[in-house]
Structure 1
Amino acid sequence: MGLFIPTYFSPISQYSELLKFDTINFEIEDNFQKQTYRNRCYIFGANGKQLLNIPIKHSNKEGKKKTKDTLVENAFPWQSQHLKSLQTAYRSSPFFEFYEDDLLPIFSKKYKFLLDVNIDTYSFLKDALQLETEFKKTNEYKVNSENDFRYLAEVKQKTPNNPKKYIQIFDDKHGYISNLSMLDLLFMEGPNAISYL
């Protein structure tokens, strides 16, 4: 069983490890950390690598908070902005229209907790890739664990290079960008994304 942190439209590196397991364990008892894939993903926009970031509610009184208790800040229209960015970036990609209807509920549902957003994005990608992988949630923080892939949630963590390049929508302008959100691979490769992984 692999141990992962649920992230927002996870990077390709996380899925290349995740699909090696029949069951994965999502770490939800860890402390929330800023500047991780927990609340952000990167896509390929017309101007190159583009950040999509979910705003988080912060309080001056609170110390550390667990990932499972992290609240989404809905005072900003982040969902409509993210959807518009995805439509702008990928509307002319080979498979965007194929997945768009299944993607829309994530951008119209009202979320309170970040964890719920991330579980829904995982479920969307799992269905799109036709994965059989089941998931469980931890009920205590795992100190040491075999098959520990929690480090893949760190943005600054050096990840292994993707095994091979695939055609990206703006690579003629900006070159190839590795380890973007799984959405980039999905919209470009469709059902073939699983073979790439």
Structure 2
Amino acid sequence: MKTLDTQSVLIDLQYLPSIEFFACIQSFSEIILECNENYIKQSYRNRCYILGSNKTEMLIVPVVDGNKKILIKDMKIDYSQRWNINHWRTISAAYGKSPFYEFYSDYFRNIYDKKHTYLWDLNLEMLTMCLKLLRVSKTIRQTEVYEKEANSTVFDARNLINPKKVSDSSQFYLPSPYQQNFGNEFVPNLSIIDLLFCRGNQATEILKKSMSI
């Protein structure tokens, strides 16, 4: 667990990161992104979850040679499926009537229009933009080599946040309900864009309430 003298967190880079991801990094001044690990399938590295009108929807960024051992920073995106157009249409359909959609939508649409070659570059720009919109200032750096055991002065959160773990068992995230677009029951730990589009400038305060470390 985090100690008082631990200011840095080592974590894997996610696609449109989950609220749990942001709840985790809130406690640290420096984010160290693991860029020298092998790509891991069925993880948040290339997927996120949003709330649609009928259900929770999973958005997956298709990659080239996802079954091979390739460093996450070298993993290329597969554009043969026009995924970026489909993702933006799905996001627009889900959040087009949200209170803060018009304030934030262009920032994300511009990123999708860039058609990044590498998944890493896409995810890094998404993370940087989300932090900017949340008005959260962090020092971000990337690993130089892969180390199985993190330095004792760094909190190692690699692979601790993944879709296969339920949010109520998280050591980082304690869901703080907010008004969502659809449904009568709160759906926790969606992509941060759900919180941004629904709550706008209140998102950061809700994140603070969602911290469990």
Give the TM interval when normalised to the shorter protein. Answer: over 0.9
Q: What corresponds to 1:127 in structure 2?
A: 132
Which whole-Å deviations, capped at 9, do the CAs of 1:82-114 have from their partners, x for residues lacking one? 111111000111111110121121110021110
Q: 1:12 aligns with which of 9, 12, 19?
A: 19
Output aligned runs, 1:162-177, within 5 Å. 162-172=174-184, 175-177=185-187
- SS of 2:199's equivalent in the other structure is helix
The aligned amino acid for 2:50 is I
RMSD: 1.5
TM-score (norm 1): 0.93
TM-score (norm 2): 0.86
Which whole-Å deviations, capped at 9, do the CAs of 1:132-166 have from their partners, x for residues lacking one? 11210001113222311122442113442533211
Q: What corresponds to 1:117 in structure 2?
A: 122
Q: 2:193 aligns with which of 183, 187, 190?
A: 183
Q: Distance in 2 between matches of 1:102 and 1:140?
A: 32
State whether structure 2 residue 42 is matched by structure 1 residue 35: yes
Q: What corresponds to 1:76 in structure 2?
A: 81
Q: Percent of aligned pairs with the same residue? A: 32
The runs of 5 or more residues in structure 1 that have no matched partner are none
Which whole-Å deviations, capped at 9, do the CAs of 1:48-91 have from their partners, x for residues lacking one? 100110001117xx841111111100111111111111110001
The runs of 5 or more residues in structure 2 that have no matched partner are 1-7, 208-213
Q: Contact (CA 8 Å) 1:57, 1:72: kept in 2 or not?
A: yes
Q: Distance in 1 between matches of 2:22 and 2:114?
A: 24
State whether structure 2 residue 142 is matched by structure 1 residue 142: no
Which whole-Å deviations, capped at 9, do the CAs of 1:160-187 have from their partners, x for residues lacking one? 2533211111023xx2211100000111
Q: Distance in 2 between matches of 1:149 and 1:87?
A: 32
Q: Distance in 1 between matches of 2:181 and 2:147?
A: 39
State whether structure 2 residue 111 is matched by structure 1 residue 106: yes
Output aligned runs, 1:150-161, within 5 Å. 150-159=158-167, 160=170
Offset of 1:37 from its aligned partner? 0.5
